[in-house]
Amino acid sequence: MALVEINFDGIVGPSHNYAGLSLGNLAATVHAGDVSYPRAAALQGLAKMRANAALGLAQGFLLPLPRPNSAFLAALGEPDDRPLIGAAWSASSMWTANAATVSPAPDTADRRCHLTTANLATMPHRSLEWPDTARQLRLAFADAAHFAVHDPVPACFGDEGAANHMRMAASHEAPGLEIFVYGRSGGAFPARQHEQASRAVARLHRLDPERVLFAAQNPAAIAAGAFHNDVVAVANEHLLFAHEEAFAEPEALFAAIRKRLPEAEIVVVPSSAISLSEAVRSYLFNAQLVTLPSSAGMALVIPLEAWESAAVRGWLEIMLAGNGAIRRVIPVDVRQSMANGGGPACLRLRVVADLAMVDPRFLLSDTNADKIEWVVSHHWPEQIDPADLGSPTLIQSVVAARATLLQALDLAEVT
């Protein structure tokens, strides 16, 4: 098989809104009640996908889930409680880093790529996602000879997917070291990833125990707003890029990584250079760390908010001058997603696989990108005020917009 890393970005759905449902996500709570701009949000996300594809990277996408979730509201007796209505309208599936945890074929005992759908049990609005997400994953990765898609682990153990999972390897196609990061305490905020969920996923994926590490998040990082590990750390191939305060026991973790992957390079940003609060505010680490084709090194795709931070930009410029593994920094505009607490890394699920084995309807081509852009430009709401959630007119608009997209992409079977 010709294995490559494919980034599957979530298309921002037509119900994108700022209901402020995510406790511990500081950006989401700060912007609660603001007017959102679904059309602009989806076009920003699509522009990022096009830009990554232009770099020569393999790019896919996942579709917005059906919203509002009428079954959820019916099961609750049609509540008039605004947070519950907001949960039924949430477009948070756009952050596909939470869709699943992925272990590529070189890491698994049966040499298939395993994907375990995340239960997202900690937050009510996100716990609704997994049945529709699992159906979509089973369609995109339907070849049972090459993929195994698992239902979530039991909801008593919260699992947040790839946002709390890192893979390091000499190259994408080489056997990897998989690092599962869980939380134990976050002060006033919940630790969303349960250790037992991480261990269950490792077993379901039939990983070699000698090539798996489990690491605890730093409680201070969770309390500062790093509700997922990918807010303070990101890995790609042999490189780990992390904030000094990301992990509870960093030195033990780094030693374990170096023992199992001698070629590992670990770049730690000290708090003296970029404070934990600034790392969370700017989402420096919620970046896509990608390998550029033709041995051009790695690039860090960061949000504009990080590039506009004096502390972050200053540190990045020093890093680039040092001729390390990261050779380029690419700022992107995903402000609509950022205002709801999701940066470039939140918007993508990384899958190392053979492109020929993936349903091509989920792979970004110029034709698909043009179709997505046309539908979004003509059918996505220009703006949504959270007070309008539940409006019959808005319901009709959002449902019709998504149906038009599915039809345009020949994916009406997703429903």
Q: Which residues are catalytic?
A: 160, 228, 346
Other C-beta atoms within 10 Å of 49: how many?
23
Give the single-character DSSP code of 133.
Answer: H
> What is the C-alpha end-to-end distance of the chain, expressed in Å?
32
- Taking 3-state DSSP, the helix, strand and coil percentages for the chain, each rounded to the nearest 5, stand at 40, 20, 40
CA–CA distance, 297 with 134 (Å, rounded to integer): 34
What is the Rg, in whole angstroms, of the alpha carbon atoms belonging to the chain? 20
Give DSSP secondary structure letters for 292-360.
Answer: PTTT--EEEEEEHHHHT-HHHHHHHHHHHHTT-SEEEEEEE--HHHHTTT--TTTTEEEEEEEGGGS-G
Q: Please give the structure tokens belonging to residue 293.
A: 């084709």
* Cβ 340 vs Cβ 18: under 8 Å: yes
* Cβ 247 vs Cβ 269: under 8 Å: no
